[in-house]
């Protein structure tokens, strides 16, 4: 097989794994197209860079310098949640692993490694064997119920109004002038027990002292 054919075959394999990961594991859960663009772009360019570094034998110093530039890149408009950062790391690591096939006949190991990565992420996203909880920060106007002695009444009211089985909550900023409080509610994610829009669990409560009421 020619060098060009091997290059195209290996790139196609890497792209196939990446598309399977993003399209069939990540995207069905989040429905966020902005990160889909980032993941596919990162994976493609990193694969090509590593492949050319192997082909033309660039110096080790050039390689370290290139990845030092990657390491200081930041998305300053919005913070990237931990979950998306994990996907980004995996997307960036896949071409590093898959580009090794250009120099060694390790297709069996590569197929196994990529399959394991896809399987583990699929199982975790499907929550098989796990029971995850999600969080929402809401503005609540019945400040009389935020007292510790009214904990059960507050949980019942939140569950009735949101339709979620609230397990616990945290109370943040309290505004008595407007009779409102910032409350973060925690609930299990299962059987469609989720709001239709994106979760805001990565958004911190205000800086004021926070205390928790546990169910």
**pLDDT (tens digit per residue) in 4-56:** 787 788 888 989 999 999 988 888 877 767 788 888 888 888 788 777 766 55
Q: 57 and 139: one domain?
A: no
Q: 57 and 79: one domain?
A: yes
CA distances for 102 relative to 15, 38, 98, 215, angstroms: 15, 25, 8, 56
Q: 192 and 97: one domain?
A: no
Identify the bridge partners of residue 185 per DSSP, sorted by sequence position: 136, 169
Q: How far is CA 205 from the centre of its chain?
A: 20
- Give the residue with greater pLDDT, 65 vs 30: 30
Q: Tell whether the model's pLDDT for residue 207 goes beyond 50.
A: no
Instruction: Mention every residue, 6+ apart, whose C-beta is less than 8 A from residue 166.
Output: 155, 158, 159, 185, 186, 187, 215
Q: 30 and 112: one domain?
A: yes
The full length of the chain comes to 215
Q: 117 and 151: one domain?
A: no
- The residue among 73, 104, 125 that closes a domain is 125
Domain hosting 65: range is 3-125
Q: What are 8-22's pLDDT values in tens digits?
A: 888 889 899 999 999
CA distances for 114 relative to 8, 93, 95, angstroms: 18, 11, 11
Q: What are 153-178's pLDDT values in tens digits?
A: 999 999 899 888 888 899 999 998 88
């Amino acid at each position: 097989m020619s060098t060009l054919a091997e290059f195209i075959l290996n790139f196609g394999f890497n792209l196939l794994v990446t598309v399977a990961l993003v399209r069939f594991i990540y995207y069905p859960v989040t429905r966020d197209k902005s990160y889909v663009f980032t993941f596919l772009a990162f994976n493609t360019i990193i694969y090509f860079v590593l492949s050319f570094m192997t082909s033309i034998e660039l110096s080790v110093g050039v390689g370290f310098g290139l990845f030092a530039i990657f390491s200081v890149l930041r998305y300053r408009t919005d913070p990237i949640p931990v979950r998306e950062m994990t996907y980004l790391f995996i997307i960036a690591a896949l071409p590093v692993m898959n580009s090794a096939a250009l120099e060694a006949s390790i297709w069996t190991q590569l197929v196994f490694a990529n399959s394991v990565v896809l399987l583990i992420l699929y199982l975790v996203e499907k929550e098989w064997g796990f029971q995850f909880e999600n969080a929402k920060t809401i503005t609540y106007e019945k400040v009389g119920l935020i007292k510790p002695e009214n904990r059960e009444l507050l949980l019942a009211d939140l569950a009735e109004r949101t339709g979620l089985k609230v397990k616990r909550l945290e109370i943040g900023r309290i505004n008595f002038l407007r009779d409102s409080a910032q409350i973060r509610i925690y609930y299990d994610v299962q059987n469609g027990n989720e709001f239709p829009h994106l979760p805001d669990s990565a958004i911190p409560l205000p800086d004021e002292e926070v205390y928790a009421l546990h169910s």
